[in-house]
Amino acid sequence: MTKLLYLQDFVKIGCEGTVVSVTQAEGCDIVVLDQTVFYPQGGGQPYDTGMIESASGTFRVDEVRFVDGDVRHIGALETGKLEAGDAVICRVDQERRTLHAWLHSAGHLVDRAIAELHLPWTPGKGYHFPNGPYDEYEGSLEGIDKEKLKSDLETLCNKYIAEGGKTEVIFMTREEMRKTCRYTPDFPAEKGELARVVVHGGFYMPCGGTPVADMAEIGRVTIRKIKQEGKNVRVGYDVGQ
Ligand SMILES: [Zn+2]
């Protein structure tokens, strides 16, 4: 089991660790460490990339996946060698992580705005990738003025950004989560395991990713498109100026 350092310290992009195993599959090397700051793909957020360095080798991390409790750093050895037991330093690519944090947190802002507008929609999946990010909700657009909604959501999201405010991570029981979060997803988690909740501006969101440290960092959110997809409503957004 890899210790997931990003769950607690979500802005950290470097850490020390020890190599647990180095294996090969499909022409790639797979490195597992005892702990990592690398975010594996999941919860609508893409994986980190970067480097793992030891005294004897440099490993390029091209892809990161979470499999059976382990974070698999998938890539190739650039120099030297890497073996189980080696002490290493992890360095996550800052630019890529920052963009993913903006996109992810912007998705939270859209959720917060939808809650503030009292839309009777149930949050579904989020897609926080750079190529067309969106939040999806079970609900209907019937009787809703889409242009007005687009403008209202955008105004609220940018109000939250202007207000700024530190993002906090809290671990709580499912019962507490049901009281504080608007929506509690079904977790395949073990009984008794604490759930992770991200809080900003008094809004509680179940979250497994790496949000921004302060909402002000996002700069600006634009609502790209709102459309009905079967029984879901998809709210597309973009970040940046
Ligand atoms: Zn999140």
The pLDDT of residue 98 is above 70: yes
| pLDDT band with cut points at 50, 70 and 90 for residue 191 | low
The one-letter amino acid code at 5 reads L
155 C-alpha to ligand 1 centroid (Å): 21
104 C-alpha to ligand 1 centroid (Å): 6
- The pLDDT value recorded for residue 142 is 95
141 C-alpha to ligand 1 centroid (Å): 24
Separation of alpha carbons 24 and 77, rounded Å:
11
The pLDDT of residue 57 is above 90: yes
- The pLDDT value recorded for residue 241 is 62
78 C-alpha to ligand 1 centroid (Å): 33
127 C-alpha to ligand 1 centroid (Å): 11
Residue 115 burial (CB < 10 Å; 0-12/13-18/19+)? Answer: middle
Task: Give the mean model confidence (pLDDT) for residues 125-140.
Answer: 96
- The pLDDT value recorded for residue 60 is 98
222 C-alpha to ligand 1 centroid (Å): 18
1 C-alpha to ligand 1 centroid (Å): 22
- How far is CA 89 from each of CA 21, 41, 45, 81, 199, rounded to the nearest angstrom? 15, 21, 23, 14, 30
Mean pLDDT, the chain, as a whole number?
Answer: 94
The pLDDT of residue 25 is above 70: yes
51 C-alpha to ligand 1 centroid (Å): 25
Q: Which residues contact 65 (CB under 8 A, 6 or more apart)?
A: 40, 41, 47, 71, 72, 74
Separation of alpha carbons 86 and 90, rounded Å:
12
- The pLDDT value recorded for residue 134 is 98
The one-letter amino acid code at 7 reads L
> Model-level pTM greater than 0.85?
yes
3 state SS of 80: strand
56 C-alpha to ligand 1 centroid (Å): 37
- Mind listing the domains of the chain with CATH numbers? 3-92 (2.40.30.130), 97-239 (3.30.980.10)
The pLDDT of residue 164 is above 80: yes
- The pLDDT value recorded for residue 192 is 60
| pLDDT band with cut points at 50, 70 and 90 for residue 174 | confident
Asked if 36 and 49 count as a contact pair (C-beta separation under 8 A), the reply is no
207 C-alpha to ligand 1 centroid (Å): 4
The pLDDT of residue 144 is above 70: yes
pLDDT tens for residues 196-223?
Answer: 999 998 999 999 999 999 999 999 999 9
Alpha helices in 62-145 (DSSP H): 94-116
Residue 62 half-sphere exposure toward CB, CA atoms < 13 A: 9
SS (H, E, C) 193-204: CCEEEEEECCEE
171 C-alpha to ligand 1 centroid (Å): 13
103 C-alpha to ligand 1 centroid (Å): 10
70 C-alpha to ligand 1 centroid (Å): 21
Task: Give the mean model confidence (pLDDT) for residues 155-161.
Answer: 97
The pLDDT of residue 43 is above 90: no
- The pLDDT value recorded for residue 168 is 94
- How far is CA 183 from each of CA 23, 137, 208, rounded to the nearest angstrom? 40, 11, 15
205 C-alpha to ligand 1 centroid (Å): 7
Partners of 80 in the β-ladder: 57
